[in-house]
Each structure stands twice: as structure tokens, then as C-alpha cells.
Chains A and B, each alone.
Chain A
Amino acid sequence: MSNPQPTAADHHDRLTDRVLAEALGAERPPDLSAAIASRLADAQAEVAAPSGRTAMQTRRAWIVLLATAASLMAVVLWRGVATVNEPKVALIEPAATEAASSATASSSHKPNAATPPVAESSDGPIMYVGNYGDPPDSGDGSGTPWAINVLDGPERVSGEVFVPSEGQTFPGLELANEPRVYFNPRNLAKDSSGGRAATPSAPVAKPGQSQTYSISPERVEELKSLRKQPATPAEQSPSSGAYGSPSVVNQGDLKWFKPVELGKDAQMPRRDSGWFHSIDKLYWSESKPSTAIGLGGLINDATVPSGGVKIGRDFYYREPPLHDRYEAIHENAFTKPAGEDALSTFSIDVDTASYSNVRQYLLDMRRLPPADAVRVEELVNYFDYAYEAPKEAAEEPFAASLGCFACPWAPSHKLVRIGVKGREVDADKRPLSNLVFLVDVSGSMNDRNKLPLVISGLEALTDRLGENDRVAIVVYAGSEGVVLPSTSGDRKDEIRSALGRLQAGGSTAGGAGLKLAYEIAERNQIGGGVNRVVLCTDGDFNVGLTGTEELAKLVETRAKETGVFLTVLGFGRGNLNDAMLEEISGRGDGHYAYIDNEKEARRVLSRDLSGTLVTIAKDVKLQVEFNPAKVASYRLIGYENRVMAAKDFNDDTKDAGEIGAGHTVTALYEIVPVGVEEPAPPVDGLKYQPAPVEEDAARVDLIGESAQPTVFAAELLTLKIRYKQPEGGASKKLEFPLEDAGKSFADADDDFRWAAAVAEFGMLLRGSSHAGDATLDSVLEIARGALGADDGGYRAEFLDLVRRAQELRGR
């Protein structure tokens, strides 16, 4: 029944309703000026530049059209020409099931006797679209250990997989940016009787080897004819439109899979479980938690609880290769405090990226991280410590807390902790902020752990902004562009609306985007305020300005000349250029965080907003002078790529790290006290040098010319901190001496023990030669006893990391 036509009285009533809504404050029209201006600018840019989005879309439409025509022509050609470039995919079979796999690969189908057969649901065509793991490097997938779709139901499906080449398209199927595997189980059933299956071009591979399959021209033809068949109503739900055309999906086969809404991270499957996705839904098979790493890679031992149908039981696939790049870390060795070597100098580092990166490896990927991904100081600095803050009236922007206790992994050694706490700045007292979000929207960001996380993180940050803040959003992909001009932080709807418009696609012109972001930040610069570019990327700049040094010089120059600092937020996995992001964040007077989940995004961009944005001191350098009368040798734990020459400490032209409001920074030294046997020196003694003076005598000489103990003789070390105000100028120096009270590790406070446990964990993950008696069990034991208040549950989560590492190492 349709509604009756509204009368004039209804319209009057509605108008009065609207007037009342505004009169009584129920709603107000928003200010859309900036959003409209931004969209107008985009529209004008598109008109001016044919490479704009519209042109791109038109071009894509043409490409799809041409590719469709080309694929049709290819079928004709393939019939007559045998030597064509066939789309390929590599398949890895386990040794244990080699025989069975061989049979399967040659397209024989054996029902699984252990499980009830799945009823044939309809005679309609069935097409699954999906993928496992990462896409191959190249469009054709050749030579890449590409994870395969397999559906091991009553009919094994394998040998009938192919990856469409780039540009290749199929009517009714929507291709995403990445190549996907298409296969057709029903089609294979026909193959078993009809004998038209594509045959492997080489014998079935053993674990770790790859097997190439190809699609025959006949199969392409058959798939196309299948797609033309009409859909039945049952096939249209729930995946109607899921693959561009419901006619290629049979719902009966979806019962093995569980649909979820995209974007709900908690519900997302692990990377190694079977899944395929549609435009708006993700489907994945229920997996056992017992997935393990085998010789051939991850073993996907998945079952469907309801029907007991096994999926991929015999199927193994190698872990997709990661292309994350890390700078090699060479651990600091023990150093004797003789001459200038009595000084240990390094730049402060408040980055936390390594911890969240390690967390993602362990918790999400169930892998031990590569050693070079583990920067011990960033693991330690990830946590909050209750160090004493600088006094309200104090001129210095930070205070230092020193402590010395027995070293837990080498009880005869000492562990010295240097804790630095920056002045807190209340969120409502933050200085005026001028922020430019520079968001990488290149095709590689089209992943649930990337752009959606960027958007939710920036939305969390937007919630914390106010009228004193200005925000602009610049994106870069194939070309750079302004999504939101500099806009007041209280116009949250406009900012959210701009964030909502972000979409991934294209290559990565990061350098040009970076330049544009700096230009906007400089144009809207706030004197005495926070001026910062916040770069959100997976890190690979593959178009334009791409070299790390080039980019680093750009940000360094801008930071020095204009006072616009850089914060770098890394996202995603597989292409992460960790080394470059760390380098440019440091050179750009900023810091680097890695965002692996929404909680981390909120932590960095909402909870710790002041620390993330407000720099309270720059070029902060630490120099520790060790007393050779007490210290036989020392070793700085972590900070390997922050170590500086002793002479650089007093050289104000030498750049160093920044510290944000409320940030805590922890540095740990392992010390071998005098009289304790020292670790073996890394090099043999020198044969042609003058005979060494007796060590004790040398030590006395170093204390003073008179060879008498000085008034400082009781001191273990002196910490010197040099820093500049954020706006620059000459540096200032602070000094803090430390005496060793000879306390045991058990006497240490929770924070000290916690930092020691985390450092121990980091050393174990790195496979450090200095880990001594450390074990994951001892890490767990120390950490359990030092949890403290644990606001936010971050320390409890660390225990999960340690347990996962134990599991992965087989205890």
C-alpha cells in the first residue's frame, strides 16, 4: 500500500518541524565551505589536468573494455597458437600427500570418506573468487611462492587455478588492484569425466618447490560460457553483487565460509586461513588454532565445524615472502672506559615503532620477527614509566632518574637505567597546532591494516582537536593533491568527511606529496605553535623523489629552515620500508611510530597526542662518563643507530633526537664492575704495541695525575644531557652523577625490573650474544612481578608476546 499524497498541511507541518528543530537547538546546518572549496578545487584540477581522477576512471573504463576485447581475441588466437604467455601460479604440495596430490593435480577427484559429502546444490555455474596470502610480485605470479586457493571439499580443487594477468578482465567479475585467483570447482567435476582439465606443466613439486599450472584456452572459453548463464534467486544471496555478478556464485557452497563485515578487525581471519572476499563482505573458513609452521611453510589445518568438511587439510603453502626492509643492527660491544672511550654518547630516541612491529609479527603473523626489526630501545621505550617529572617551576623541560642494580641476565654485572621524563603538557594547554596529514593512498595501501587504520587513527586524532588546531589533508598516489585545505580543528564534520573520501589506488609519488605537505604547513605556519606534517604510509615511495637520502635531506632542510617537524606513522606489512621511515623521521625532527591495530592508533594519535605533537626539547643528546675506578667495561643496550662520537656532544651543529611532552625515555647500560671477569674481547691482543700497563695502575692514572682517589671516586658514572629549546638556539647541559649502592635486582622498583625484562626479551629476539642467562621463562617471571598498575593493559599484552615467542620457539 502506498502512502497517501502529502497535503499542503503536511508540508507546513514539516516546515514548522524544521524551524522548531533549529529554534530549540536540535540541529544546525554545518559549515560546508571548506569541503565545497576543496571539492571545487579537485574538480578544477581534474578539468585542468587530464591525468585527474575522472580521466583516470575514463581511462580505466577503456582499459577494461579493451582488455575484455583482447581476452576474447586471445581465445581465438590460443586455439591456433600454442606458444602464448599463459597466466601462471605456483603451487606447493606437501611431501606427505605427494601421491594423492599428484592424482589430484591431474584432476582426479576423490570424495573425502571421513566427511559427509556436500550435496550438489544446483546445476548453476559456480565461480569462486578469492586468494590466499599475499599476491605475487608480478602480474603473472611466475617464480613467486604464491599461496593458492584450494577448496578441499568432497571434490578437491586444484590444478584449475590461474591468476589473471594485469589488465586482463572478465565480464561480470570485478578485479581489485591485486591479482586474484579464480577457480571453478564445478568445472573440475566436469573435468573428471570429461577429461578436459588443464594439466600441470611439470611434475608435482615437493615441499618448498613450486608447481606451475596454466589455464587452457578451452577453459577460458568454458568459464566465459558459464558466466553467461542466468542466476537463480538462491544464488543471489548473501553474495548478491559480491563478485560483480551473482550468476557466478552458488550460495550452497558458501556454507563452509563465514561472512563478516569488512573493517571489523577483531573478526578478521588470520592471514593463513582460507578466505575470499567480495566488495562488501569477507568470507573465511573456520580454522583450528593449531596452525603450525612446517618445512614447506604454514600448514593450514582448517575444518568447518558444522559439516566437518575439511578445507585444505592436505594443502600446504609457503609463507608469502615479505619485502619489509630493515637496517642491519650491529649490537654495541663491551667497551673499556679508557681515554675517550670512557664517554658513551648517543642521541635520544622516543620512537616506538619497533615494538608494535614486533607485536604484529608475533601476535598477528605468528612469526618470530627478523632480528633487525628488533630495536631494543624502542621496545623498552614503548612503555610508560613513572619517572619523576620536572618540577613545575623548573627551567629544564625534563628530569632524569638514574638507578643501578644487579643485572638479571648476568648477576655479577650491574644494570644501570637512565630514565628521562619530559614535562607534561595538558591537552587543553597545547599550543596552537598547524597539522598537515600526508596520507599515502597508493594501491599498496588498499589493505585492511593500512588505509582503514589510517582513517580511524586520524578520526581519533580529530576527536581531540579543537579551535586552536588547524588540519589539512594531502594525499599522494600517482600524483599528489589536497583533500582538505587547512581547516579549523573544531570543524570535525568537514575533517571526517574528507577522511571518508580517501581511497587507495595508484603508484606512490611520496616525494611530491611530501613537498606539497610542507608547503601547506609553511603557508599556514603558526609562530610559537606546533607545525607538523604527519606522514601516514606503508613506506615505499616508488615514484619521483625516492631515495632515502634525498627525502631525508628534504625533511631535514625544512625542519631547520621553517620549523615544520615530521611525524611518521608506518602501516601494514609486506612492503614496509622501516629503515627509510626511521631515518626520515629522525632527520625531520620528529618521531616514528608503527600502527598495527586500532588500539595502537588511538594510543599514538589520541591518548598520547600531546607527546606526539608537542616537542619540548630538540637535539637531545646523552653522554655518560664512566668512572674507570668502578667500571671495567660497559655496554649500551640498544640505540645502535643513535650512537654519536664523543666530540659531537658539544657540537650544536650535530642533529639529535627530539622529546615530546610527557615522553619517557629509558636507556640501559650493562656494566662489568672492576674485579669481575670481563667478557672475552672481540679481538686478540696486539702483538706490536707497547706492553700494556697493569690494569690497576692504568685505572689510577685515569682517575687523576696524582694517582690519588678524587672526591668523585665513589661515583659510578655521570650522565650529561644536552638539549635545545624546540625553536632552536644554543644548547644547554645538565649533569647527574650516580653512585652504586650495591643493590640486588630484587630491590629494584617495578619500572626498573620491567625495563630489564623488556630489554632481555629484545636481546633474545635478536639472538644477542650478550643475553647471558636470559630465557623467555625468566623474562616472563620478571615481567609478571613488575606489571604495576598497567593502565591500558599494555604490560599484560607484553606477557602475551613472550608466551607467543615461547610457543613459536617450541619453548
Chain B
Amino acid sequence: MTVMSQPLPPTADASLPRGRAAPALDLGRLVRDRQAEVWRYLRYLGAEPTEADDLTQETFLAVARSTFVEASDQQTAGYLRTVARRQLLMLRRKQKRRCETTDLDAAETVWSEAMWRDRSHGDPWDDHVDAARDCVEKLEGRVRQAIDLTYHQGESREAIATTLGMTADGVKTLLRRTREKLRECIEATLRPNL
């Protein structure tokens, strides 16, 4: 069973020089800048889109109730992810369901490694998306068709199998291998920027 820990927000005492008052949290800006990131993270952890909508709201409400102060970009991102993760776990417990991504620590590591860069250099997610588009352009034949049918047209694995004359398991393997290649391509594209 995954132990759910209470996130500890960076506090004014810990993040500010002694004697300096903590700045008021600009929640409006935080929501504007970070809601997409939280929503994507929840989707990555396996939340359905509507669940991600609700949990993103819950995450920011929880932040509003906390004593959180912004110290650094990385710390804010980490704190929001921790709160979001906790919201998802609470939801799954309420639903008496297991979390799809059972090893949340490993999932967090993968995400934070991929998205660790300071946002002052641009949103790392956007860089990933741009790189992914370029990489997909390089795909050809059945591989490209499978990706297009999956992500452009939202076809099910079975429907794609019928179109491509494969088995559903074959499509699953094909898509997984293709994503692996695409990940390598994305990382190679982003490496000079890292």
C-alpha cells in the first residue's frame, strides 16, 4: 500500500532571510501559470480528463488553504505535484480503486527528470510537445499510420488492428516500440537545450 504523506510546504521561515516578511501568495498568477502543468501531471498519473479537471481545482484549493509561499520555481512545481498526487490518492481511496500508477515515487522521478528545467527558459512541456511533433514527422509507413490513428483520430487498438491487418496485441507492441523510438528522438532533440 502506498503511504500517503502530508506535503510539507516551504514556509516563510525556511525560504526567506530572517526578519523579512513573506510575500503574499499570488494565487491568481499561480493558477494561471501552473494549472496546465498540474492537469497534465494528473493525466500522466492516470487520472481521467474529468477527474484531472476536478483534482486540479482541489489542488489549488488545498494550496490556498496552506501556508505555502513561493521560494523557487522548482520548489513550487514539486509542491504542486505532491499536493496533486495526494488528491489523486484520496480520490482513489474514496472510489476504493487502486491508483493506476502504483509506484508513484518512480513516476514522480521520471516526470521531474524530464521536466526539471527552470521555466524561465520556457516551458519544458512545450519543448517536449514541439520536439514530439518534429519526431512524428519523421515516421513513415505503418508506424506513422498507427500513431495517427491513435492520437489524431482516437481509434481504439482493435480498430487500428483491423485497419492495419494486425492483432490488437501486435498494435500494442507496435505503439509501445514507436513511443520508445519517439522518446529517444525527443530526448535527442532536447539534449542541446538541457
Hey, which bits of chain A sit against chain B, CB under 8 A?
A: 3, 5-9, 11-27, 29-33, 35-37, 39-40, 43, 493, 497
Residues of chain A lying within 8 A (CB to CB) of residue B152: 24-26
B106:A27 contact, CB within 8 angstroms: no
* B114 CB within 8 Å of chain A: yes
A20:B110 contact, CB within 8 angstroms: no
Knowing A15-B111, A20-B179, A24-B147, the reply to whether A33 touches B31 (Cβ < 8 A) is yes
Query: How many Cβ-Cβ contacts under 8 Å join chain A to chain B?
Result: 121
Residues of chain B lying within 8 A (CB to CB) of residue A29: 35-36, 39-40, 52
Q: Choose one: B57, B125, B179; the contact of A16 (CB below 8 Å).
A: B179
B102:A3 contact, CB within 8 angstroms: yes
B186:A32 contact, CB within 8 angstroms: no
**Majority secondary structure, B binding face:** helix
Q: Choose one: A17, A19, A39; the contact of B186 (CB below 8 Å).
A: A19
Knowing A17-B179, A29-B36, the reply to whether A23 touches B129 (Cβ < 8 A) is yes
**Nearest residue, chain B, Cβ from A40:** B64
Complexed CA–CA distance, A18 and B53 (Å): 16
B35:A33 contact, CB within 8 angstroms: yes
Knowing A20-B132, A24-B147, the reply to whether A30 touches B40 (Cβ < 8 A) is no
A8:B106 contact, CB within 8 angstroms: yes
**Nearest residue, chain B, Cβ from A3:** B102
Residues of chain B lying within 8 A (CB to CB) of residue A3: 102
* B56 CB within 8 Å of chain A: yes
A12:B36 contact, CB within 8 angstroms: no
B110 CB to nearest chain A CB (Å): 4
Q: Choose one: B49, B53, B61, B180; the contact of A13 (CB below 8 Å).
A: B180
Interface size grouping (class) on chain B? 35 or more
Complexed CA–CA distance, A24 and B132 (Å): 9
Residues of chain B lying within 8 A (CB to CB) of residue A493: 53
Residues of chain B lying within 8 A (CB to CB) of residue A31: 35
Complexed CA–CA distance, A30 and B53 (Å): 8
Residues of chain A lying within 8 A (CB to CB) of residue B57: 32, 35-36, 39
Residues of chain A lying within 8 A (CB to CB) of residue B27: 40
Q: Max chain B CB contacts within 10 Å: which of A5, A31, A40? A: A40
B52 CB to nearest chain A CB (Å): 8
Residues of chain A lying within 8 A (CB to CB) of residue B180: 9, 12-13, 16
Q: Choose one: A15, A36, A40, A43; the contact of B44 (CB below 8 Å).
A: A15
Residues of chain A lying within 8 A (CB to CB) of residue B147: 20, 24
Q: Choose one: A5, A8, A37, A39; the contact of B110 (CB below 8 Å).
A: A8
Knowing A19-B128, A23-B136, the reply to whether A37 touches B103 (Cβ < 8 A) is no
A-contact bits for B118-148, CB 8 A (1 contact / 0 none): 0000000100111011001000000000011
Complexed CA–CA distance, A493 and B40 (Å): 17
**Nearest residue, chain B, Cβ from A24:** B151
Residues of chain A lying within 8 A (CB to CB) of residue B176: 13
B56:A32 contact, CB within 8 angstroms: yes
Residues of chain A lying within 8 A (CB to CB) of residue B179: 13, 16-17, 20
A20:B39 contact, CB within 8 angstroms: no
Complexed CA–CA distance, A20 and B179 (Å): 9
**Nearest residue, chain A, Cβ from B41:** A18
A18:B28 contact, CB within 8 angstroms: no
Complexed CA–CA distance, A554 and B9 (Å): 49
**Nearest residue, chain B, Cβ from A4:** B102
Hey, which bits of chain B sit against chain A, CB under 8 A?
A: 27-28, 31-32, 35-36, 39-40, 43-44, 46, 49, 52-53, 56-57, 60-61, 64-65, 101-103, 106-107, 109-111, 114, 125, 128-130, 132-133, 136, 147-148, 151-152, 154, 176, 179-180, 182-183, 186
A36:B107 contact, CB within 8 angstroms: no
A11:B101 contact, CB within 8 angstroms: yes
Residues of chain A lying within 8 A (CB to CB) of residue B43: 18, 27
Residues of chain B lying within 8 A (CB to CB) of residue A23: 128-130, 132-133, 136, 151
Give 11 A-B contacts (CB < 8 Å), ordered by A residue.
A6-B107, A13-B183, A16-B182, A18-B43, A19-B129, A24-B133, A32-B56, A36-B56, A36-B60, A39-B57, A40-B60
A286 CB to nearest chain B CB (Å): 35
A24:B101 contact, CB within 8 angstroms: no
Complexed CA–CA distance, A208 and B111 (Å): 73
Knowing A43-B61, A497-B53, the reply to whether A5 touches B136 (Cβ < 8 A) is no
**Nearest residue, chain A, Cβ from B46:** A14
Residues of chain A lying within 8 A (CB to CB) of residue B151: 20-21, 23-26
Complexed CA–CA distance, A37 and B56 (Å): 12
Residues of chain B lying within 8 A (CB to CB) of residue A27: 43, 49
Complexed CA–CA distance, A9 and B180 (Å): 9
Q: Choose one: A18, A36, A43; the contact of B40 (CB below 8 Å).
A: A18
Knowing A26-B151, A32-B56, the reply to whether A6 touches B39 (Cβ < 8 A) is no
Complexed CA–CA distance, A445 and B28 (Å): 34
Knowing A20-B182, A23-B136, the reply to whether A32 touches B53 (Cβ < 8 A) is yes
Complexed CA–CA distance, A497 and B43 (Å): 18
**Nearest residue, chain A, Cβ from B45:** A14
Complexed CA–CA distance, A3 and B65 (Å): 36
A240 CB to nearest chain B CB (Å): 14
Task: List 5 A-B pairs, minimum CB-CB distance, nearest first.
Answer: A24-B151, A23-B132, A11-B110, A29-B39, A29-B36
A43:B64 contact, CB within 8 angstroms: yes
Starting from the known contacts A11-B110, A24-B133, A27-B49, 17 additional A-B residue pairs (CB-CB under 8 Å) come to A3-B102, A5-B102, A8-B110, A11-B107, A14-B107, A18-B40, A19-B186, A23-B128, A29-B39, A29-B52, A32-B31, A32-B53, A33-B35, A35-B53, A36-B61, A40-B27, A40-B61
**Nearest residue, chain B, Cβ from A17:** B179
Residues of chain A lying within 8 A (CB to CB) of residue B110: 8, 11-12, 15
B152 CB to nearest chain A CB (Å): 5
Residues of chain B lying within 8 A (CB to CB) of residue A497: 53
Residues of chain B lying within 8 A (CB to CB) of residue A12: 110, 180, 183
Q: Max chain B CB contacts within 10 Å: which of A12, A29, A497? A: A29
**Nearest residue, chain A, Cβ from B181:** A16
B31:A37 contact, CB within 8 angstroms: yes
Residues of chain A lying within 8 A (CB to CB) of residue B53: 30, 32, 35, 493, 497
B126 CB to nearest chain A CB (Å): 9
Complexed CA–CA distance, A154 and B57 (Å): 54
**Nearest residue, chain B, Cβ from A18:** B44
**Nearest residue, chain B, Cβ from A27:** B49
Complexed CA–CA distance, A5 and B132 (Å): 27
Residues of chain A lying within 8 A (CB to CB) of residue B125: 19, 22
Complexed CA–CA distance, A5 and B101 (Å): 9
Complexed CA–CA distance, A32 and B28 (Å): 11
Complexed CA–CA distance, A488 and B172 (Å): 40
B96 CB to nearest chain A CB (Å): 13
